[in-house]
Structure 1
């Protein structure tokens, strides 16, 4: 519940059609995968365009604790591997990539590695990763509620590897975290998913792609089975793609307010789930074009309701739910039951906040049904969730008096969000971004 000490931000209304170029910083998902692989590499790596946010800072600090050097060199980060060391603490904050990618790395340490995070992080499921490590002979002590933070991984300097089953129904990160460290295991690793559903498969495909680009041999020819061979991880000099999911609120703004928003640096091919946005937004009624590497989304202010399976891109759900409240007909979002285990229970949070402002949003077994209703002023709670905060900004584009609680939580993946948003909405200001 919002208290007098909880800061709120007045979400600005759109005064007219937009005309903006928004420069989105680097992908969090790619940045943190590259950081982990660089720390396990066979020499120093240079990462260009890496996202600088709370999640990536937490990852960098965790890797430093585990023995790597992570130095800032102008706009670049230079990562120098070192022996993985134990008797250290890893602060996860609310970063799923830290709490789920690094336990397998910690198993390579020469002593215990203690993991903990923000209070909300202690609610996020961790059991499949911990059970997988135990299945590989790694001792894990759970220091709180079973299957949750805090816990301690007792590294012994090496992991034999082999085969392990994991139920990744709750998060694709359970698979990715094992794959990222697997080439450093003596026998490599075969991971088999045993659950009934596998959400966010593009994120696993992203992990496989970055491993292969670093010279690691990965066989993903069998459905829901991945084999990583033992071997070195190549040091590299690389550039991080823009975060396409973080572009979503800005692109959706063009549909709600009318006008055009452009995002430069859009890749022609990508493993990011946000790469599905152009086709999704066309279904909602946008006109979409790609000119070189600049994606342009144009809207008229009219939004169509859709029936959409978001299994492959669940992280877009809060943004698309906020878009859907402005639609002319109901929207059903499917395949996103796993969002109940994200930074917050996103399905419950979206239903509660849309309803709080007079809308209608009903939870289903695997998603939401949003029926547009006239909305009213009020406080939109963020639940310490960056995507809930940006969703509130979208709702407020057309609804006067929306106050977004704790908008600063957007720094988790999108530092400077408020300034970017304001610049996009400023009449005559075509450019919005770090160089604006």
Structure 2
């Protein structure tokens, strides 16, 4: 792809696995599966959630490119963010744990990020299955002095990267890739010319964010023109723009489908990371499903996180939703009604909404999410298979799902190494006895100790997730 040819490569989505009988998404439980709890009473709990993955990884990148030391307060420590931290350490960035200010119960250490004078090359980076790592880091690696090799999990090798890689080529960056996919090598020369590129970002907003985050350090800055179908998850681009402005970068996003970052220094940061609102989705959904009450302290009054849409979704589906200075409170009656919603800008919520829709008393339609076929797995096919295997009436459409009321039964819910599939299975299990979820540990990608948090919520205990500084990300 070049500015004159913005078409991205076709995504390489793997087939969904089958059980021995040949039926997709169906099999009997196996050792190691997680039994999704079905409570016998409404849930009443306060749940303290860790920080946003999207914000943590954006601030890590900016801190690595800043002119001085930064402090990230209450960062998320999950597989995706630990992979980002390790990748930046490989490039020569120092990231230290420091105790938070004050005596805050359950708090995690802050990160003190000290950028090097020059990013180093001749290194290998493990991207895992983290879209932010595999898509943000090539634009950063182009500033290193020497080659940077990137690879990840087998599933990461089918997630498209072509638009951002071809845009880097158009800016003069030399790289070798696998037809728009991992593995790849970026031959960093210590600087990037920068300038103007045209890309098709209709399959992922991360392509735009990747160039914006590094663009202030390019000699001519960066101007990105999008040409193609509407960019999905626009709030994530707004999040990127606002984090850049937090770091003193000059960003012009006044023209539709065009973003400009001026060449400049990046200021050191001292920021607190908001709770992850998309990860909050299953927990607040539990109030609606069980007819209980769940409170999330620290829910921001204003945010660029797409997960904030959960407030509107839960209200539409039958909950009483209240946001005040103390946080978000969701009160459910136990009655769920269906929803007709376009989730194009908050597609990461699709598994949560689909699970709720499968429990609703009226039909639902989810639209505008064709691009999630290229996420950790083909989420539309996976949700159709797994909800269907439990008796759900789910039809996959061109750009979403239609879900009709149907009696559900227990069974095995496959996750396909996708953290949001795992939490969708947990939501269904709140009302359907006998649901077992495959590979619940895949939730550690963005939420450490999901089973512990879930159990704490169901027991009514206030709970918080944290990883010790020495804990390694799950492989």
- After TM superposition, the score normalised by the length of structure 2 is 0.89
Counterpart selection for 1:413 from 438, 446, 451: 446
Task: Specify the alignment match of 1:127 in structure 2.
Answer: 162
- Deviation of 1:196 after TM superposition, in Å, equals 1.1
Counterpart selection for 1:431 from 458, 462, 466: 462
- Deviation of 1:110 after TM superposition, in Å, equals 1.0
Counterpart selection for 1:216 from 233, 239, 249: 249
Comparing 267-276 and 285-294, the one that deviates more? 285-294
Task: Specify the alignment match of 1:344 in structure 2.
Answer: 377
Aligned partners of 1:401, 1:5: CA distance in 2, in Å? 13
Aligned partners of 1:84, 1:167: CA distance in 2, in Å? 29
Task: Specify the alignment match of 1:23 in structure 2.
Answer: 48
1:175-214 to 2 correspondence within 5 Å? Answer: 175-214=208-247
Indicate yes or no: 2:351 matched with 1:318. Answer: yes
- Deviation of 1:86 after TM superposition, in Å, equals 1.1
Indicate yes or no: 2:111 matched with 1:77. Answer: yes
SS of the counterpart of 2:331?
strand
Contact kept, 8 Å, 1:6 with 1:406, in 2: the verdict is: no
Contact kept, 8 Å, 2:223 with 2:259, in 1: the verdict is: yes
Q: Deviations over 1:159-216 (max 9, x none)?
A: 0101011111111000000000000000001011112121000000000000001100
Task: Specify the alignment match of 2:38 in structure 1.
Answer: 13
Contact kept, 8 Å, 1:206 with 1:272, in 2: the verdict is: yes
SS of the counterpart of 1:140?
strand
Counterpart selection for 1:389 from 412, 416, 422: 422
Counterpart selection for 2:63 from 8, 27, 38: 38
- Deviation of 1:7 after TM superposition, in Å, equals 2.2
- Deviation of 1:85 after TM superposition, in Å, equals 1.2
Aligned partners of 1:208, 1:90: CA distance in 2, in Å? 26
Give unmatched runs, 5+ long, in structure 1.
none
Contact kept, 8 Å, 1:125 with 1:148, in 2: the verdict is: yes
SS of the counterpart of 1:155?
strand
Aligned partners of 2:125, 2:315: CA distance in 1, in Å? 42
Aligned partners of 2:393, 2:206: CA distance in 1, in Å? 31
Aligned partners of 1:432, 1:60: CA distance in 2, in Å? 25
Q: Deviations over 1:370-418 (max 9, x none)?
A: 1121111110001111110000000111111101000001011110110
**Runs of 4+ displaced beyond 4 Å:** 1-6
Aligned partners of 1:354, 1:43: CA distance in 2, in Å? 49
Contact kept, 8 Å, 1:259 with 1:298, in 2: the verdict is: yes
1:194-273 to 2 correspondence within 5 Å? Answer: 194-273=227-306
1:110-149 to 2 correspondence within 5 Å? Answer: 110-142=145-177, 144=178, 146-149=179-182
Contact kept, 8 Å, 1:268 with 1:293, in 2: the verdict is: no
Contact kept, 8 Å, 2:447 with 2:465, in 1: the verdict is: no
Aligned partners of 2:370, 2:29: CA distance in 1, in Å? 33
Contact kept, 8 Å, 1:127 with 1:148, in 2: the verdict is: yes
- Deviation of 1:6 after TM superposition, in Å, equals 6.3
Task: Specify the alignment match of 2:6 in structure 1.
Answer: none
Task: Specify the alignment match of 1:52 in structure 2.
Answer: 77
SS of the counterpart of 1:85?
coil
Aligned partners of 1:66, 1:434: CA distance in 2, in Å? 29
Counterpart selection for 2:331 from 298, 314, 317: 298
- Deviation of 1:432 after TM superposition, in Å, equals 2.8
Aligned partners of 2:353, 2:82: CA distance in 1, in Å? 28
Aligned partners of 2:194, 2:123: CA distance in 1, in Å? 23
RMSD: 1.3
Give unmatched runs, 5+ long, in structure 2.
1-16, 18-26, 100-108, 467-475
Aligned partners of 1:356, 1:331: CA distance in 2, in Å? 18
- After TM superposition, the score normalised by the length of structure 1 is 0.97
Contact kept, 8 Å, 2:448 with 2:465, in 1: the verdict is: no
Aligned partners of 1:166, 1:195: CA distance in 2, in Å? 8
- Deviation of 1:157 after TM superposition, in Å, equals 1.1
Aligned partners of 1:138, 1:359: CA distance in 2, in Å? 49
CA change 1:3–1:57 in 2 (3 A) is farther
Q: How many equivalent pairs are there?
A: 431
SS of the counterpart of 2:148?
strand
Task: Specify the alignment match of 2:126 in structure 1.
Answer: 91
Contact kept, 8 Å, 1:6 with 1:405, in 2: the verdict is: no
Contact kept, 8 Å, 1:164 with 1:192, in 2: the verdict is: yes
Contact kept, 8 Å, 1:71 with 1:77, in 2: the verdict is: yes
